[in-house]
Structure 1
Amino acid sequence: MDRLEQTQREQLSAFLDTSPIVRAYELRNAGIAGETIRRAVQSGELVRIARGLYQRADSEVETEQALAEAAKRVPKGVIAMISALAFHGLTDQMPRRIWVAISARDWAPVPSYPPIRIVELRDKYMQHGIEHHPISGVDVPIFSVSKTLADVFRNSKLVDRSVAVEGLRAALDQRKATPGEIADAAMAADSWRIMRPYLEALTSNG
């Protein structure tokens, strides 16, 4: 290995220390040549998990790693619906696909990995309640507890009402959002009329 290649491999190793999951263009922008990437894959240092998407071979697999990979594959998307409920610990369901919301005006890619379910939301529903969580070195946008509950109640054709009610009850029991925060998010997301009787029933003293 010549000195240039060694330096490239050192740069790659340093980059992967902070970003275990990385896209090819990010490596190129960091000055790492395509040949270095290919050799790292051949040697087993780097694993190609999808076209243009790589993962450090010895990185510890996190339970939410698929969310990080989905965020890389759909840069303008936000983790939503069942996947957001699962992330926040509000459902026992483990969706087979990652639910990602995008604006209706954005292009919806169809990546082969991880399996993703794209949900198109109107622009006004994409503007609020976005949190950012670091997962596997990736900044992953995920809708907040209150915003997620508002979305699952509004979209009964996508999410069964029993799942929405289960999530609402769990959020209240675990105190992950106050009734006021949930109500405000539901009003902003045009789902208050649907959610109100359930929220009132779960928070009544009687």
Structure 2
Amino acid sequence: MGSDEGSEVWRVPLGTLPVTFSYSEALGAGLSEWQLYRLRDQGLIVSVGRGLYRRHSAALVDIDLIELARRAPSGTLCLTTALARHGLTDEIPARIDVALPRGRHRPATTAPVSWHWFDPKTYGIGRTELPVDPETSIGLYGPERSIIDAIRLRHHEGSDLAYAALRRWLRRPEASPSKLLMIAREFPRAERPLREALEILL
């Protein structure tokens, strides 16, 4: 390989691309397919999923969350994954729990994911954003919504997960049972068992 061809790689416009970028974004910025693969082979970029790359010099982050944020921009971390993020369970799920609005297509990912489809009418309730890096964030349900989802889906997720999370949350000074019940009114399958649990625990 000639020196001109090798030096061409160093002049590619990586600086015009986001820290994490897709194959099509790279081509759109002026990179050729050969340049892209040469950058990868030289270790200047790393693959974080099929057709998705990240600069090697970028800060260390959770690559799985980066991929999910790019593949499923409307996705939201939920259930056990969200409860673990909020310190409400010691369980470490083998797969990342991600909710999508019902009817939304499930993307193919390298990251291990358990997909869940939630009602679009209530999908945004309690949804926040979790920054993954300065350019990327992913949806995350807050602690109250995560508890409610665990209770309403307790027959699938296990009642121990739901009620242990509720007990741990109630010990926090910022816990507001009235706020929790107000949110639960939007989820009829959760409101009654939540009220019964609170009557026992409070």
Match of 2:44 in 1: 45
Runs of 4+ off more than 6 Å: none
Change (3 A) 1:58 1:177: farther
The Cα of 1:151 is off from its aligned counterpart by 0.8
Question: Is 1:110–1:116's contact at 8 Å kept on the other side of the alignment?
Answer: no
Match of 2:186 in 1: 188
The Cα of 1:179 is off from its aligned counterpart by 1.6
Structure 2 unaligned residues grouped into runs of 5+: none
Match of 2:74 in 1: 76
Question: Is 2:99–2:117's contact at 8 Å kept on the other side of the alignment?
Answer: yes
User: What aligned pairs does 1:1-206 form with structure 2 within 5 A after superposition?
Assistant: 5-8=9-12, 11-13=13-15, 15=17, 19=19, 21-62=20-61, 64-111=62-109, 113-136=110-133, 137-175=135-173, 177-190=175-188, 191-202=190-201, 204=202
Q: TM-score, normalised by structure 1?
A: 0.82
Question: Is 2:75–2:138's contact at 8 Å kept on the other side of the alignment?
Answer: no
| Percent identity between the two aligned chains | 26
Give the Cα separation in 2 of the matches to 1:175 and 1:26.
46
The Cα of 1:6 is off from its aligned counterpart by 3.7
Give the Cα separation in 2 of the matches to 1:40 and 1:67.
23
The Cα of 1:192 is off from its aligned counterpart by 0.9
Change (3 A) 1:194 1:48: same
Change (3 A) 1:132 1:157: same
Change (3 A) 1:56 1:166: farther
Question: Is 2:102–2:120's contact at 8 Å kept on the other side of the alignment?
Answer: yes
How many residue pairs are counted as aligned between the two chains? Answer: 196
Q: TM-score, normalised by structure 2?
A: 0.83
Question: Is 1:70–1:98's contact at 8 Å kept on the other side of the alignment?
Answer: no
SS at match of 2:108: coil
Give the Cα separation in 1 of the matches to 2:81 and 2:139.
12
Structure 1 unaligned residues grouped into runs of 5+: none
The Cα of 1:87 is off from its aligned counterpart by 1.4
Change (3 A) 1:53 1:197: same
Which has more radius of gyration?
2
Give the Cα separation in 1 of the matches to 2:65 and 2:164.
22
Question: Is 1:67–1:79's contact at 8 Å kept on the other side of the alignment?
Answer: no
Q: Deviations over 1:111-135 (max 9, x none)?
A: 2x11111111121231311101211
Aligned residue type for 1:99: D
